Structure 1
Amino acid sequence: MLTRRQVLKGLAVAGVGSMTFGGYALAEPFRLGITRYTVSPPGWPQDFSLRIAVITDLHICEPWLGLDRLQRIVSRTNVLGADAIFLLGDYVRGGRMALWSRDVKHADWAAVLAGLKAPLGVHAVLGNHDWWEDIEVQRRRAGPIKSKVALEAAGIPVYQNDAVRFEKDGWPFWIAGLGDQWAFWPRRHADEREDSYQGVDDLEATLGKVTDDEPVILMVHEPDIFPKVPSRVALTLAGHTHGGQVRIAGYAPIVPSRYGQRYLYGHIVEDGRNLIVSAGLGCSTLPVRFGAPPEIVVVDVVSGRNVA
């Protein structure tokens, strides 16, 4: 959980970056890069290759990431040759962004995302801001979640502790999606203290739906689950951190993770297990980015024998 001191420190760094570099921190959010990774998980079938495009942390709002820019993101993604497209949550604007922007109707942005096309489909999970935007959801500690309703109405399946089996070129594999780990705000009572976010994630139940030994690709929003992900999972894909959103010389003063810089950004390998954390595309708290430009991520999953 972020402290007031961390937030103030981050705002100070953002302000310095904006003044010192001539407003670059205000311009960087409008960039759109493609970041590519090639990953060779242990035991991945030799003749099987899979390309995944990842879109995350859009925080859709006007004027920072409205429908026109979202359409450009969709068009750019569609020409990347992905077998499947993953949406990793936080579709709506976040937190203090309400001071700097205005909402876009859920049905409108979901209709644009419905234009994403890939042979094996588009697959989604929710992020914390998709849960946080509705005060009634927080009060009753349950959905329905507006983003989930909109995505499913647009024909995009939303995974919450679920797994589905697919095939490509005769090779079977699983796409699994974890429920959000920060779904509910901390809640305190007079007789007990509860000061951490509460999730709807259930990793054991999610992987329990995998009924054979074929490879598993896991979609999550927050990367903090990664220490618990077993080697059974070939690759975990996450967003949430924005790569720090403001990062100077590789260091981010604010990282929304209990692990600090450990899962800030990029391709992380621990005990032979692979995690990729995207910097995402939108902004939260402030409409600035510095040293963490927006990106669509493309991941080619291949056998180690097929890597030159």
Structure 2
Amino acid sequence: MLTRRTLLSRPTLAAACAAAGTLASAGYATAFEPHRVQVAHYRLCPPQWPPGLTMRIAVLTDVHAHPRCMGEGAIADVVARTNALAPDVTVLLGDYGSQSRGAVPFETVANLLRGLQAPKGVYAIQGNHDWGDDRAALRRGHGPTRAERALRTAGIAFVENSAVRLDVPAPLWLVGLESEATPGRDLNPERLDRQRSEILARALRDVPAAGAAILLAHEPDLFATGLDPRIALTLSGHTHGGQVRILGWSPWIPSRYGLRYAYGHIAEAGRDLIVSAGLGSHFVAGRPLRLGVPPEIVVVDLGPLSDGDAMEVARARRAGAHLHDPSGSSG
């Protein structure tokens, strides 16, 4: 009988088993997990939230559309599943195209996203790759990018550096902020934060002091600046949740703050941030790769909490913790 001791006493067999395990993990991470779209569900009532108002928001981000990962059929399925969740508002947080050869065209992606349905509206911003993949826009030094034109042509409301009042019985706005990759942004992190804070302040000019706003920001790092007190909730993508996550650790996260804003619901100083793991994947050696962070549709239910939920949230806020990491959610 093969025991741990006999296995370890046979170096060649042990090496073969280790290699087989590595290959199996690699196969799962490239062939299965990038296509295993989950539903991550959050329920919260931010301190600034209008009293008595309930709302469901669906969040889709980082599509990175490519036939090998988030192809046309997969996007159509995401649209159908999102609509079935019956959101009041659906938001798209950027990075629609893939950087790999053979990507699904922006126009095709936008036409598929046209099928999203939400009674209070479907709104979009753009991400860093929507700029980085558009050489013509970069040469001009200004937009619109190809992604923005495609979304607008598809009839999807594009909100960038502006605020839109939502049609709900409360003073509630949706604010979209441009990406850090927008031409003209300072590369120095502190000056970049100042620039973006100033842009956000201008976008909030029409929001009264007693109003509340939901901020759409592709990159989550601005959350560290404290933000305007009218921001009830910030929704972000960009990080892919690390794309590879093993026991809570990721080898690389595109954020100055590492794991702090990598994924999930983060509560700091009475403020709330939700970072989605996104839908698409960056490619490694020509293959989409995800491990421990499956692609996801995010659903956020906002409004009064049950006594049990309220106590859990209060404890987490006092600890300044990640309130919920729904990486095992399904739907």
The TM-score with structure 1 as length reference comes to 0.85
d(CA) in 1 for partners of 2:188, 2:165: 37
> What is the match of residue 153 of structure 1?
153
> What is the match of residue 9 of structure 1?
none
Change in CA separation of 1:157 and 1:302 when aligned onto 2, cut-off 3 Å: same
User: How far is 1:305 from its partner?
Assistant: 6.6
d(CA) in 1 for partners of 2:229, 2:45: 13
Moved more, 102-111 or 120-129: 102-111
d(CA) in 1 for partners of 2:44, 2:151: 29
Which whole-Å deviations, capped at 9, do the CAs of 1:4-32 have from their partners, x for residues lacking one? xxxxxxxxxxx999625251101100001
Residue 289 (str. 1) matches residue 297 (str. 2): no
Q: Is there any run of 5+ residues in structure 1 with no aligned partner, and where?
A: 1-14, 188-193
Q: 2:27 aligns with which of 23, 30, 33?
A: 23
Contact 1:114 1:156 in 2 (8 A): yes
> What is the match of residue 216 of structure 1?
213
User: How far is 1:234 from its partner?
Assistant: 0.4
Instruction: Give the residue type in structure 2 aligned to 1:258.
Output: R
What are the equivalent positions in structure 2 for 1:1-308 lying under 5 Å apart?
A: 19-21=23-25, 23-26=27-30, 27-94=32-99, 97-98=100-101, 102-168=102-168, 170-184=169-183, 201=196, 202-211=199-208, 213-228=210-225, 229-286=227-284, 287-304=288-305
Contact 1:231 1:272 in 2 (8 A): no
Report the RMSD for the aligned CA atoms in angstroms.
2.5
Secondary structure, counterpart of 1:107 in structure 2 = helix
Percent sequence identity is 44
Instruction: Give the residue type in structure 1 aligned to 2:120.
Output: L
The TM-score with structure 2 as length reference comes to 0.79
d(CA) in 2 for partners of 1:79, 1:212: 35
Q: Which has the higher contact order (CA 8 A, sep 6+)?
A: 1
Instruction: Give the residue type in structure 2 aligned to 1:249.
Output: L
d(CA) in 2 for partners of 1:58, 1:255: 17
d(CA) in 1 for partners of 2:51, 2:78: 32
d(CA) in 2 for partners of 1:146, 1:183: 14
d(CA) in 2 for partners of 1:285, 1:185: 28
d(CA) in 1 for partners of 2:161, 2:188: 24
d(CA) in 2 for partners of 1:148, 1:242: 21
d(CA) in 2 for partners of 1:186, 1:305: 43
Contact 1:132 1:184 in 2 (8 A): no
Q: Is there any run of 5+ residues in structure 2 with no aligned partner, and where?
A: 1-18, 311-331
d(CA) in 2 for partners of 1:122, 1:144: 19
Moved more, 29-38 or 135-144: 135-144
Residues paired across the two proteins, number: 282
Instruction: Give the residue type in structure 1 aligned to 2:171.
Output: P
